[in-house]
Amino acid sequence: MAAVTKAREPDPPAAANEVVLRVDGLKTELRVEHGTLRAVDDVSFLLRKGDTLGIVGESGCGKSMTALSVMGLLPRPIGRIAAGSIDLAGVGNLAGFSNRQMMKVRGNQVSMIFQEPMTSLNPVFSVGFQISEAIRNHQNVNQDVAKRRSIEMLELVGIPLPQMRFDNYPHQLSGGMRQRVMIAMALACRPQIMLADEPTTALDVTIQAQILKLMNRLKVEVGTSILLITHDLGVIAKMAQRVLVMYAGVVVEEADVRDLFARPLHPYTTGLLKSIPRVDPSVGRKKRLHTIEGTVPNLLALPRGCRFSDRCPEVHERCRQEEPPLAPPDEGGPGNRQVRCWLHRATDTDD
């Protein structure tokens, strides 16, 4: 994938490394027919002002549940935050907020872009009305002011003839334009954080590149930090400054993006990077895709030790008996890096 090897755009300047979101020990549970599964298990991370933090992994690894936990949009009544905190700067611990309290936060301080806009946009209302309602719900403005701001947002995200498009319905727009409307709605109230859950998966590669470029530009112009959820490491390489790799509900590796791509530590991360399609210039054709054998384990029946042990090509006996901690690698390397793997924990600790 070209995005992996292509030079990244310069990172936007951060404001003195100010932390806008601090998630600590987040545990999210879902009550299902055969028991209670922990979709997010002791996940912690920081999101700094002006940064994009990527969360990557296969389907079912817990990345979307992490985002829904932050937004207070867990499926009711089966989902709940069992432990941990979600501290939003200037607001408080969102994990303790009621749904009524979260309604004041969502769209105002924190907003979300979903994977498929046709399932998020209401088909019976014009896109302009929906953006205006988001503004009026959170800001004390009249209908005329909300309409003017909505048209400004449509123009900001690059939709041509924004005054005309204000009255269009979702089905009258292309997929790329609908996604731009979702971004306009998400940014209408200038939130601190924008969560983007697979925002370009349903788009063709040309429109995908446009949307990613737009998000990077608006992040600087609007001053919003981004929590980017994706399975696509090419998108992570282009967009993020820091990345969490999740597997079966836990973080298995955390690093700056450049360090992760230069030297992945966890065998799962290595497998993901090897799975990226590439063209071999020496023969002018694509190589056979690498695959990670097996599937993500059932969260109701996790393996005894490392959760990746049944699929890991470097597994040994300790991996099957003890779950490794998430900790800095023993061999050192760039600071502020963590991995959950016994291959990089040669010495015993009290973790």
DSSP string, 33-86: TTEEEEEEEEEEEEEETT-EEEEE--TTSSHHHHHHHHHT-PPTTTEEEEEEEE
Per residue in 239-291, pLDDT (tens digit) is 999 999 999 999 999 999 999 999 999 999 999 998 887 666 655 565 677 88
**How does DSSP classify residue 143?**
H
pLDDT for position 4 = 42
73 against 13, higher pLDDT:
73
Dist CA 143 CA 229 (whole Å): 34
- Pick the more confident residue, 9 or 262: 262
For position 336, what pLDDT does the model report?
Answer: 86
Q: Are strands 79-88 and 19-32 parallel, antiparallel or unpaired?
A: antiparallel
More confident of the two residues 75 and 348: 75
pLDDT above 70 covers what percent of the chain? 90
pLDDT of residue 348 exceeding 70: no
Q: Residue 236 in 3-state DSSP? A: helix
pLDDT of residue 139: 87
Question: What pLDDT does residue 347 have?
Answer: 56
pLDDT band at 15 (very low <50, low <70, confident <90, very high): very low
What SS3 state is found at 280?
Answer: strand
Give me the pLDDT at residue 350, please.
45
The residues near 297 (Cβ < 8 Å, ≥ 6 apart) are 248, 303, 307, 310
Q: Tens digits of per-residue pLDDT, 193-251?
A: 999 999 887 788 888 888 888 899 889 888 899 999 998 898 999 999 999 999 999 99
CA dist 309 and 247 (Å) reads 11
d(CA 335, CA 161): 48
Please say if the pLDDT value at position 75 is more than 80.
Answer: yes
**Residue 220 to residue 328: CA distance in whole angstroms:** 31
CA R_g for the chain: 21
Q: What is the pTM of this model?
A: 0.88
Question: What confidence score (pLDDT) does residue 57 get?
Answer: 93
How do residues 16-59 score in pLDDT, each as one tens digit? 479 999 999 999 999 998 899 999 999 999 999 999 999 999 98
Go through the domains of the chain in sequence order and give each one's CATH number: 1-109+192-282 (3.40.50.300), 119-190 (no CATH)
Mean pLDDT rounded to a whole number for the chain: 89
State mean pLDDT over 88-111. Answer: 94
Q: What is the pLDDT of residues 283-341, one digit of tens each?
A: 556 567 788 888 899 999 999 999 999 999 999 999 999 999 999 998 777 778 999 99
Measured between alpha carbons, how far is 54 from 164 in angstroms, rounded to an integer? 35
**Does the structure show a pLDDT above 70 at 14?**
no
Segment 170-174 mean pLDDT: 94
